Amino acid sequence: MISLVKRYQPLNSIKARHVLGFLILSLILSCARPIRYIEIHGNTMGTTYSIRIVPNAESSIHPETIQIAIDSILADIDVQMSTYRLDSEISIFNQLKKDEATQVSEAFATVLKRAIYWGEITNGAFDVSILPSVLLWRKGKPDREYPEQWEPPTDLESVMEMVKVGFDKINLSENNLRKSYPGQMIDLNAIAKGWGVDQLFIYIRNAGMKNFMVEIGGEVRTLGNNNKGSDWKIGIDKPMVGTIPGEEIYSVVSVSNQAMATSGNYRNFQEFNNVQYSHIIDPRTGQPTRSNIASVTVIASTCMDADALATALNVMGIEKGKRLVESLNGYEAFWILKENEQLKSAASLGMPILN
């Protein structure tokens, strides 16, 4: 009897080890084979968008239906805030005469109010009324000798455009936007893309998705985990002239249930007499920014706020920018600086950089 028992117990033990081994092997195989993303891509705002969704058992996903809704949301934003459309809400305002007014949508009013907020927080380093100066520098000196050669405008021309600038002069009452003075213009490009990311994020979250990433032109917002079950890893481009987005990564950030936006002046600039002029105009001076900041990346709870703050930090300079970020709750920033043709970096205390 004893010998039979002794022979019986190892058989049970062998079975148990086989079952346990199968479970462990299944777990290893499932870890080795991440769930495949459902990916949706398209064009918007002069750039591209991409969405990555980790499917879950609780929600059925129909990518075609989601894409139709996404394109509809983005089309609405385009009609509201695109300065490239003559029939957009913002273009209609920009074409008004002094004291004329127009009714804007609730979305437009929300974004504009938030832009004014960031103007106040940054003491004018972020100012959506800067469009007259932006257009002046984009076109260059009007009466230059060689029309095909861009040339910076004169100081007087720059000062004359600055008369039209000032976020504190924007007259918005509920949804009624009134032009305060001749030549006043608004440009929401430095905040609208982030708003677009947030609107797509809200739609996909309300559709029942629990793990996904939304990206428009490099601006990102995430929820939950990636397809490997960990935080989303988002790369920050190495700020080099001539590179395309994603070609060379300088650092990687761990982003979980947060938004991220980057603003840089190394891709868009004009050059005259071997001097580079940034496309980012300092609203406080009416001149292109001149600093050693190549790019600034901001982490925030919403992409609209990350977008606006990243633009402002490019204008403010590293020291004032760091003091501002560390005075705000829920914000982190990462600066890439160019010094003597070498790249350096600086970060706020809680910035989740992985390398």
**DSSP states along 72-110:** HHHHHHHHHH-TT-TTSHHHHHHTPPTT-EEE--HHHHH
pLDDT score at 35 = 83
What angle is formed at CA 129 by the lines to CA 126 and CA 221, rounded to 5 degrees? 50
Query: Per residue of the chain (355 residues), what is the pLDDT tens digit?
Result: 323 233 333 333 333 333 333 333 333 334 456 788 999 999 999 899 999 999 987 667 788 999 999 999 999 999 999 999 999 999 999 999 999 999 999 999 999 999 999 999 999 999 999 999 999 999 999 888 888 889 999 999 999 999 999 999 999 999 999 999 999 999 999 999 999 999 999 999 999 999 999 999 999 999 999 999 999 999 999 987 766 677 789 999 999 999 999 998 766 778 888 888 888 899 999 999 988 899 999 999 999 999 999 999 999 999 999 999 999 999 999 999 988 879 999 999 999 998 7
Q: How many CB atoms lie within 10 A of CB 344?
A: 12
Burial 63-89 (b: 16+ CB within 10 A, else e): eeebeeebeebbeebbbbbbbeeeebb
Closest to 311 measured CA to CA, from 340, 279, 287:
279
Cα 76 versus chain centre, distance: 19
Cα–Cα distance, 87 to 340 (Å, whole number): 46
> What's the DSSP call for residue 159?
H
As a whole number of angstroms, the distance between CA 183 and CA 205 comes to 41
Q: Is there a contact between 161 and 132 (Cβ–Cβ < 8 Å)?
A: yes
CA distance 289 to 126: 12
- Give the pLDDT of residue 32: 52
pLDDT at 18: 35
Unique residue bearing structure tokens 């920014």: 289
| pLDDT for residue 355 | 77
pTM: 0.87
What pLDDT does 23 receive? 34
pLDDT at 278: 86
Measured CA to CA, the distance from residue 170 to residue 35 in angstroms comes to 49
